[in-house]
């Protein structure tokens, strides 16, 4: 404990806490500087810190394939000296981009030194919502009524578009062949069914079995392919299937259409389904144009 002596004859002392190291100090005033008051007082200078249990979360979704712990992060507060964590208030200091389409999540205190941030709920629809990833900054300050103002360095959280997070290839963290890579692609495949099931069921098809290969493409009699379905309705998807959410949904529908009927449907029928159902799979741009070109080639 360090002693600090006020100037002789003064009745107050002025200081900037940011100039002091965290700790407990005793301020000693000149004898009887303020009649009726103690000549000593205790000053606590606190250091406040924040840490996140995860720095990247997804938004919430009604999808059964998304689990609770994926769209929350726990924010732990620390103080130096320790023991003042319950007096710390965590708040959102800034977020970017500041667009009106993406709502903010919720922040709540769950214990004396822990807060929980829960991502906002992203609408569940057949067409990919026009939302963007959001960066959220948090800061800590002392509870109202605690003298002085103490703020921590800001910590950053990435709150990502949930559908993009689960079904866009670059976000998948493991390489082909890595332990656990198959589970990541399986979850992406399951999520497509959750979100686009109504659209995919219009094919009238059903797979006898599904294999998610750990290679970019799969073997097909005509050459390397994104996916292939056997005459027994066994489908194999290569990693390229998961290059994008809408492409993935459309590719699954294309392969499902091959399973309809006693004999596999020809490519005229499958590409026609892709083009006609682009509104519900979200297929667009160059990928839609390619499907339209293949439709013309196969149907003429």
In tens digits, the chain (300 residues) has pLDDT values of 344 444 445 556 666 666 778 777 787 766 666 677 777 777 777 788 889 998 888 777 655 455 555 788 999 998 888 888 888 888 888 877 666 556 678 999 999 999 999 887 766 554 545 456 788 888 888 765 444 444 555 677 777 655 554 444 334 566 667 777 777 788 788 878 877 888 999 999 999 999 988 888 888 878 889 999 988 999 999 888 887 888 999 999 999 999 987 555 688 999 999 999 998 898 988 999 999 999 999 998
40-45 and 23-28: which strand pairing? Answer: antiparallel
Answer whether 0.85 is exceeded by the pTM: no
* DSSP tag of 20: S
In sequence order, the 6+-apart residues with CB closer than 8 A to the CB of 17 are 45, 148, 150
Q: Provide the CB-side half-sphere exposure for 109 (13 A, CA).
A: 13
Residues 199 and 185: their CA atoms lie apart, in Å, by 20
Give burial (CB, 10 Å; 0-12/13-18/19+) of 36: exposed
Fold of 47-160: Immunoglobulin-like (2.60.40)
CB 136 within 8 A of CB 130: no
For CATH 2.60.40.60, list the domain ranges present in the chain: 47-160
Residues 75 and 244: their CA atoms lie apart, in Å, by 32
C-alpha dihedral (136, 139, 144, 147), degrees to nearest 10: -160
- As given in the structure block, the two tokens for residue 213 are 């290969």
């Amino acid at each position: 404990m360090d002693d600090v002596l006020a100037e002789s004859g003064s009745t107050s002392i002025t200081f900037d806490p940011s100039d002091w190291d965290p700790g407990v100090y005793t301020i000693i005033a000149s004898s009887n500087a303020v009649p009726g008051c103690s000549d000593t007082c205790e000053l606590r200078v606190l250091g406040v810190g924040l840490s996140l249990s995860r720095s990247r979360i997804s938004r919430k979704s009604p999808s059964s394939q998304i689990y609770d712990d994926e769209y929350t992060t726990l924010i732990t507060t620390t103080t130096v000296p320790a023991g003042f964590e319950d007096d710390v208030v965590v708040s959102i200091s800034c977020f970017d981009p500041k667009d009106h389409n993406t709502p903010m999540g919720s922040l709540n205190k769950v214990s004396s030194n822990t807060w929980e941030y829960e991502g906002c709920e992203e609408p569940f629809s057949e067409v990919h919502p026009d939302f963007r990833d959001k960066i959220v900054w948090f800061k800590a300050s002392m509870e109202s009524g605690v003298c002085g103002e103490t703020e921590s360095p800001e910590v950053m959280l990435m709150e990502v578009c949930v559908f993009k997070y689960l079904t866009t290839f670059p976000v998948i963290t493991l390489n082909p062949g890595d332990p656990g890579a198959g589970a990541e692609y399986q979850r992406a495949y399951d999520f497509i069914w959750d979100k686009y099931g109504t659209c995919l069921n219009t094919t009238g098809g059903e797979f006898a079995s599904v294999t998610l290969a750990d290679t970019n493409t799969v073997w097909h009699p005509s050459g390397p392919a994104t996916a292939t379905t056997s005459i027994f309705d066994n489908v194999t998807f290569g990693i390229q299937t998961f290059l994008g959410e809408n492409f993935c949904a459309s590719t699954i529908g294309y392969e499902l259409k091959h399973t309809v009927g006693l004999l596999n449907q020809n490519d005229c029928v499958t590409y026609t389904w892709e083009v006609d159902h682009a509104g519900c799979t979200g297929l667009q741009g160059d990928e839609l144009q390619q499907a339209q070109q293949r439709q013309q080639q196969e149907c003429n």
